[in-house]
Structure 1
């Protein structure tokens, strides 16, 4: 007896909302699949018609369809909403769920998938539009769900979590995001995320959610620094939800700063600008360090967009906020927002808007502070910025010298951002052709990246 398939009316309705023809949707799905490393995924208009008739595409196609439709609409749509099955962990973790129990399940699943190094998570792409809902919901936050019953959590439990944050943050700052992240993820899975399921007094609950948000942010930041952008984005979105639950507005703004930094780095400066501005508007004057960071990242986004005047003004606003920073009054997660970091960010902003002298000045200040603190990653990024200002002035010898210092520092940390700074410097040297200094730097860089 022949079984009649049930048409997938939800998928057909969502496709209609995008205004895409079946052929165009198929073309975009194929292109996205190629970019994500799935060359075997090659649908045509007939395949799309069959999906709407009830044929269930195999993974990873449902997730790719969801990404393509989300991009077309400008907000996140999951494979579940498209009638293509339950959202897998990497899809669900892109959502900012109002239900607290679902949030705890989501972040726990994400942590387990990360520790297990499951292939689907490692290959998960960065979705530019995924942050639209979370940043909006953070500003309009309300909640009413309670965790599952169990032994009560004590403030002593929360203190232990916060003490561990301090140690893992030091690992990130001094050794790079590739060092210790999976150890942190395992710690969160065993010792922290289970606490979120247990009942707490209101003050303990806020403190626990704050500590969990800090650690989850750090997981995202470490993944970002290690070039695992899909994983990083998912951790950051869940960290934002945890920060909302804690009621800590500066911490939520800090998470948005990390999301803005990632979006701009990956070629989405308009999204980076919107995220930085959302964080700044929500901050409402609290935490000068967080404000200085958000202004700095707003400047980076504006520079990438080519909006020179506004980018320069953002740098000035960041400097003004930095003058109000009192380290003893700032939370521990803000300790890295210091002269080494801020001058380094300003150097890259001014470099990108063509202010060579200003960029060089900020780069040198950042380098000096980073050297005194023995922060190799920040030193590498700022040395690369300094080298690029020398290239803009056509001073290849000075650029080569700064480039060698970049290589030396980049070799001391496990950070894809440091390696990407080296690759960017190589690209900027290309106009100098086969000059011996270019050849020397290229060979040394090859040795580093191979190692």
Structure 2
């Protein structure tokens, strides 16, 4: 009973709602007392992680979840999700959705064979209202939103993405079009939905991010877009690794690689890098090193063009090298790889640079390099002052919690700047 209570508490902490349940509470639940409604999904997630499979409300003896339905529709559900994400009064409740670490994603081939017959009527459309121009509009807007994410942060970019999904893309998905145009529109919509999920993940709204990712998978499946399906699974692997679910991260990363056997070298590098990180998380150092070598080889063969959404470059590869070194307890090598990653990072990638400097600063602090850590935190604050990002907030909270082992002019200067930035953010 104590372990069960601890497991529920851990899920609550991850969800942003710390709990203090003890064995007496579990005894009450087992005796037939219904937990609070807000606690029930946390209990289901704790059970699912233990059993390694989803657990339903019915199995647990709980009343059905409010608002559940049996026949989901990809476009309708996406519109509903986007509308709630656009509404400031609803967004807080929406972002409180629970991340599921026991979610199982079917193989792409199984999904396409199952969906083929039921989607055919909807995919074959008469000549109509939209053409490739509208598809190109969605792709260009996705690129522009990705640029805003890098320059200003997800706090500004995600509401724009949600509004564009609801007000424009949803109409395109329902418009008459040739089969090819409609499939291309589904693929473009999947890219945008994936990016929106990525931003939600970066804003620490992990349940919401996972929901967007699942919609992106549905759209990619309907358009028979193996590459976007694969890339979305890779994003889900990154999310799982960030939340320290190593085996789930590896499962998603391997599924992503299996879904894209004909991927180009840049995407192959993208996938192998994530497989390397996840392999290191589960203790497979040899497998991680092998995957890193494969990622490096593939990246060497890639052309100079980098996708706006989900692109992979030398900086991203070196970041993966750093993760593998860190997971295998080569802390000094991890720090060097991170420094190399930052050196080759584009100056336009402020979001990525902010995150990289914060991670570097924390690892330098862990290694006992106090002055170097302060300098890296200073670079982090340069970007944090102008970006709207919940991940930046998370790093800033971590910075404020640190107790530096000695006071020096460098430490004093950093502490003074922390106060200034906190006042700026509170204004």
Distance in structure 1 (CA, Å) of the matches to 2:245 and 2:227: 24
Q: What is residue 5 of structure 1 aligned with on the other side? A: none
SS of the residue 1:412 aligns to: coil
Equivalenced residues, count: 411
Superposed displacement of residue 284, structure 1: 1.0
Q: What is residue 309 of structure 2 aligned with on the other side? A: 333
Q: 211-220 or 244-253: which moved more?
A: 244-253
1:47/1:287 CA distance change after superposition, 3 Å: same
Q: What is residue 12 of structure 1 aligned with on the other side? A: none
Distance in structure 1 (CA, Å) of the matches to 2:263 and 2:238: 20
- CA contact under 8 A between 1:36 and 1:125: conserved in structure 2? no
Unmatched segments (≥5 aa) in structure 1 = 1-20
Q: What is residue 128 of structure 1 aligned with on the other side? A: 101
Q: 183-192 or 108-117: which moved more?
A: 108-117
Distance in structure 2 (CA, Å) of the matches to 1:197 and 1:77: 34
- CA contact under 8 A between 2:371 and 2:411: conserved in structure 1? no
- CA contact under 8 A between 2:150 and 2:348: conserved in structure 1? no
- Pick the aligned partner of 1:272 from 226, 246, 249: 249
Superposed displacement of residue 82, structure 1: 6.4
- CA contact under 8 A between 1:63 and 1:78: conserved in structure 2? no
1:106/1:152 CA distance change after superposition, 3 Å: same
Distance in structure 2 (CA, Å) of the matches to 1:424 and 1:27: 24
- CA contact under 8 A between 1:243 and 1:252: conserved in structure 2? yes
Q: What is residue 190 of structure 2 aligned with on the other side? A: 213
Summarize deviations over 1:387-422 as a string: whole Å, max 9, x none. 455446543222322221122223332223344445
1:312/1:419 CA distance change after superposition, 3 Å: farther
Q: What is residue 380 of structure 2 aligned with on the other side? A: 406
- CA contact under 8 A between 1:340 and 1:378: conserved in structure 2? no
Summarize deviations over 1:78-98 as a string: whole Å, max 9, x none. 447768566556x77xxxx9x
Distance in structure 2 (CA, Å) of the matches to 1:153 and 1:164: 16
- CA contact under 8 A between 2:332 and 2:367: conserved in structure 1? no
- CA contact under 8 A between 1:65 and 1:79: conserved in structure 2? no
Output the aligned Cα RMSD. Answer: 3.6
1:103 corresponds to 2:85:
no
Superposed displacement of residue 64, structure 1: 4.0
- Pick the aligned partner of 1:433 from 405, 408, 411: 405
Q: What is residue 70 of structure 1 aligned with on the other side? A: 48
Structure-to-structure mapping, 1:31-110, within 5 angstroms: 37=17, 45=27, 50=32, 59-60=37-38, 62-79=40-57, 87-88=65-66, 102-110=73-81
Please, what TM-score do these two structures have when normalized by structure 1? 0.78
Distance in structure 2 (CA, Å) of the matches to 1:442 and 1:33: 31
Unmatched segments (≥5 aa) in structure 2 = none
Please, what TM-score do these two structures have when normalized by structure 2? 0.82
